[in-house]
Structure 1
């Protein structure tokens, strides 16, 4: 397996972690922000339901699923940017390739 330069590996993990923090912030705001401000959000209606109820019942779950897909797509883009090859990694982890 070829070695990756430390500066390149550091940049890769820094970028991955930055996006992960952004996704966690969005998740936190959607999950806990709507509950924290439920009283002030009662006047807003979505599909006939108060906004805080809609977000608790459907919106938070939908947002979480969207964040999962966004994380997968962004992660693949970052992997391609830094030259991470999934097929090669699968071969190595399956024991099909021996590099000395």
Structure 2
């Protein structure tokens, strides 16, 4: 019994010491770990833009092979927006159906 008290007391003491050191430290977690994000926000935006351009180019290549007209970025974004709206409507309808059957509580 004494051994268990010593072991669990030691674990608790170490945990309290670590939490106290973290609480009263002037450095943040990333500073302590010397962590830097791999990419900046600007790089993320640039990569996203490049991805969209590549998707549109690939889609237009397939459309040309079928003999269809090419699609612009504006049209592509409009299609994405319409798909997102349709997805939200389906999700709301599904949620409403589950609320009516009592599977989930209202307001979730």
Q: Tell me the TM-score normalized by structure 2.
A: 0.34
Q: Which has the higher contact order (CA 8 A, sep 6+)?
A: 1
Larger Rg: 2
Q: Tell me the TM-score normalized by structure 1.
A: 0.36
